[in-house]
Amino acid sequence: MTSGKENWPVVAVSWYGAKSFALYYSLDLPTEAEWEYAARGGQQLMYGTDDGTIDSSKLNYNMNVGYPTPVGTYPVNPFGLYDMSGSVWEWCNDWYGSYSSESVTNPTGAQSGTVRCIRQGTWDNKAFKCRSAYRGRFEPQDSDYGLGFRVVRRP
């Protein structure tokens, strides 16, 4: 690890790399539903910020800084989570697919596909891509300078 970068997000990692890291430590990548619930802070927040609003004091987006920022630069959301909007996209466990029109609890994505879900928006995206509900997708073997991950622990 580069000294002085311990609190920076890991970027340029494929879904396979992120998934392998998580499993190695008996963790996992969040499902898309888990990720969105965490971003909304249990309050249906439009953005994953402390109060659901957006400006440059709450998240890194729209080239405000011009690169990812260390975790903890901005306020936590109501669940105590940092950077649930802006900074870097994050891999989700799910394949990208259409949502069901039926009411479901803790849904999972498509059972197969060619692209995986990503969430959050990144430091160079416009505000609309940083919304809690915004969905993105990427091929699982690819990586990008604005694409990272977070892990979850399941019981």
Quick: pLDDT tens for 84-137.
999 999 999 999 998 777 777 778 888 899 999 999 999 999 999 999 999 999
Q: What is the pLDDT of residue 104?
A: 77
Q: Does residue 143 contact residue 9 with C-beta atoms inside 8 Å? A: no
Split at pLDDT 50, 70, 90, the class of 1 is: low
- For residue 36, CA distances in Å to 1, 2, 67 come to 30, 31, 23
**Cβ partners under 8 Å of residue 50, min gap 6:** 58, 75, 76, 77, 78
The Cα–Cα gap between 142 and 80 comes to: 30
The rounded mean pLDDT for the chain is 93
Quick: pLDDT tens for 70-97.
999 999 999 999 999 999 999 999 999 9
Q: Does residue 140 contact residue 11 with C-beta atoms inside 8 Å? A: no
Q: Any idea how long the chain is?
A: 155
Q: What is the pTM of this model?
A: 0.93
Q: What is the pLDDT of residue 133?
A: 93
- Is residue 27 packed enough to be buried (19+ CB in 10 Å), middle (13-18) or exposed (0-12)? middle
The pair of structure tokens assigned to 50 is 């402390």
